[in-house]
Structure 1
Amino acid sequence: MMHQPPAWALDGSEWLTLEGFLEAFGEAWVRTECRFLKLECWQSYREADGVRSQEAFQTGDIALTRRLLEEEAIEDQPLRDEVRSRNLGFTRVRLLTYPLSDYLRYEMINFEVRSRLGERIEFFLPPSPVQNYFDFLLFDSHTALIHDYGSGPIGYQSGGWLTHARKTLNSLADIPADLRAHGERAWPLEDSPDRPRA
């Protein structure tokens, strides 16, 4: 089973449909005063149908992929403006294994575009197998949303779990701290994802 949340993370949580997950995100976001953190572990995700940038990447058109990703990133400018105006810490922590999956080669173009626009993204090779980790969102110390991507080889979200349990929130906050202390920091954006593999 890949990237499944352990029992301790789900203890006292509530499972939500995808619609409920998005609603809970909005409610937690409004209450957030200091920090938002997103941990991403899957090496391949299934995007929603009709994501033009991913379709362009799959056809090998890297120039079009980059242009479409830049357009998508510009559409998120109101979020970046809100993060700045509210003085929020907003961090994505991305776990990697090598060689990078095709999905991650696509994502690296996206990360490069978004990093240039000021988004903070940290990359780590984790100290234990990447499959031992799971995706979650942490809002200050009051709320966490844990993604339910099923158990297949490609993450496709069906919903997730909502928790306010103090012990769980503290343990989730310890994961990025442990990665920073014991993981290997990676700098994949230094190598152009546009460069074809040998």
Structure 2
Amino acid sequence: MHQPPAWALDGGERLTLEGFLGAFGEAWARTERRFLKLECWQSYREADGVRSQEAFQAGDSTRARRLLEVEAMEDQPLRDEVRARNLEFTRVRLLSYPLSDYLRYEMINYEVRSRLGERIEFFLPPSPVHSYFDFLLFDSHTALIHDYGSGPVGYQIGGWLTHARKALNSLADIAADLRTHGERAWPLGGSRDRPRA
């Protein structure tokens, strides 16, 4: 489920979670034009102690929203940097309906972050959502591919770093294909369970 194919990892370097975070910082510093994040799992397990998710799971969506607004404001320096460096910073979020409980929580987060200026695009993919995998693309020089293990819920355990030209081009093609052939969804503008026409 959501496992990266061999071609994406060919020539790449296996990373621990700490190595993944370090490689992110290095790639981010070199990025001059575009950062793209593809998110496809319908449920993720956040790190322990994420109070907004705990509040949502306890049924308190009002408190979850307040906490998500605080968490989003902690990322304001990143948004300021994106603007100062004139970067294209996009999250491409794949959806499968009906939305999972996790995505109902995340939709609050996405709404808050969209209001703060973050660019998030939602798509119903042309292929089954489980055939996609999460990755980060930095210009055309680096990609980080997430490893969430093999369980039904994504919990990051590490990943892979690649500079391989063929893999980078193919990852960019995946994003372009989703934007061209995926059905754009507008979950922040209405129904929580069905895409709007």
**TM-score when normalising by structure 1:** 0.96
Match in the other structure for 2:80: 81
Partner of 1:196: none
Q: Which amino acid aligns with 1:120?
A: R
Report the counterpart of residue 167 of structure 2 in structure 1. 168
Q: Which residue of 2 aligns with 1:96?
A: 95
Q: Report the counterpart of residue 55 of structure 1 in structure 2.
A: 54
Q: Deviations over 1:71-93 (max 9, x none)?
A: 00000000000000000000000
Counterpart Cα distance in 2 of 1:41 and 1:62: 23
Residue 62 of structure 1 and its aligned partner are, at CA, apart by 1.0
CA-to-partner distance for each residue in 1:68-126, whole Å, 9 max, x for gaps?
00000000000000000000000000000000000000000000000000000000000
Question: Helix, strand or coil: the match of 1:134?
Answer: coil
- SS of 2:38's partner is strand
| Structure-2 separation of matches of 1:9 and 1:44 | 23
Matched, 1:71 2:70: yes
Unmatched segments (≥5 aa) in structure 2? 193-197
CA distance in 2, matches of 1:143, 1:181: 23
- Equivalent position of 2:117 in the other structure: 118
| Distance in 2 separating the partners of 1:65 and 1:157 | 23
Match of 2:153, SS state, is coil
Q: Secondary structure at the match of 2:92?
A: strand
Q: Which residue of 2 aligns with 1:7?
A: 6
Q: How far apart in 1 are the matches of 2:43 and 2:116?
A: 24
Separation in structure 2 between the aligned mates of residue 25 and residue 180 of structure 1, nearest angstrom? 24
Q: Give aligned pairs, total.
A: 192
Equivalent residue number for residue 183 of structure 1: 182
User: Segments of 4+ in structure 1 off by > 4 A?
Assistant: none
Q: Distance in 1 between matches of 2:179 and 2:77?
A: 29
**5+ residue gaps in structure 1?**
194-198
Amino acid at match of 1:68: L
Whole-angstrom distance in 2 between the partners of 1:69 and 1:32: 27
1:191 offset after TM fit, Å? 2.2
Q: In the alignment, residue 168 of structure 1 is paired with which amino acid?
A: A
CA-atom RMSD, angstroms? Answer: 0.7
Aligned counterparts of 2:179 and 2:22: Cα–Cα separation in 1? 31
CA drift of 1:55 comes to 0.3
Letter in 2 for 1:71: V
